[in-house]
């Protein structure tokens, strides 16, 4: 059984994951509007991944006898100055999410909630991957600078991404 405090914190993270999906859909819309279909597709795949994360947490709360409470999702930004700014925001956002997950782990450890600690390890590992993946795109965009040809190639590369839900362990 989850403590009231842990259940509340996990519910807040469900909201954060759903906000993340909304945030990435907003970025996808922006990328479409500036004719970067590959970047838009990358963002859509990222949105699907965030929905998966939210539902994974949702299911965990229920499995532990808790109750999921759906809260309002804040409106994300809708405009950026460039695709570089978009991906800079992605990296900052993923770093923030990493902090949220780490705080959940700290709470689980403080409460000696070993089941939740075990569950959260998957998210901790996932955040390492998220930050590395986005960091690589940010680095490539910095190298490209204002080179339209480089952006065209990167856009095509990013458009190859497809979200595939992980195989349940």
Residue 34 host element (H or E): none
- Return the CATH fold of 4-158: Ferritin (1.20.1260)
Do residues 91 and 136 touch, judged by C-beta distance below 8 A? no
pLDDT of residue 109: 98
Domain boundaries, the chain: 4-158
pTM tops 0.85: yes
Do residues 20 and 90 touch, judged by C-beta distance below 8 A? no
Q: What is the mean pLDDT of each run of 10 residues along the chain (169 residues)?
A: 96 98 98 98 97 98 97 97 97 98 98 98 96 97 91 95 82
Phi, psi dihedral angles at 94 (to 5 degrees) = -65, -35
């Amino acid at each position: 059984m989850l403590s009231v405090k842990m259940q509340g914190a996990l519910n807040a993270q469900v909201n954060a994951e759903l906000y993340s999906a909304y945030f990435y859909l907003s970025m996808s819309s922006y990328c479409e509007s500036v004719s970067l279909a590959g970047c838009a597709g990358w963002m859509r795949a990222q949105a699907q991944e965030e929905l998966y994360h939210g539902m994974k947490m949702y299911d965990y709360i229920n499995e532990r006898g808790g109750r999921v409470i759906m809260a309002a999702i804040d409106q994300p930004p809708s405009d950026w100055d460039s695709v570089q700014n978009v991906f800079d925001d992605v990296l900052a956002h993923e770093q923030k999410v990493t902090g949220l997950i780490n705080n959940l782990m700290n709470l689980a450890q403080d409460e000696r909630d070993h089941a939740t600690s075990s569950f959260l390890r998957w998210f901790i590992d996932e955040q390492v991957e998220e930050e590395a993946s986005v960091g690589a795109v940010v680095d490539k965009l910095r190298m490209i600078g204002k080179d339209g040809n480089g952006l065209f190639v990167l856009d095509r590369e990013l458009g190859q991404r497809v979200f595939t839900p992980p195989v349940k362990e």
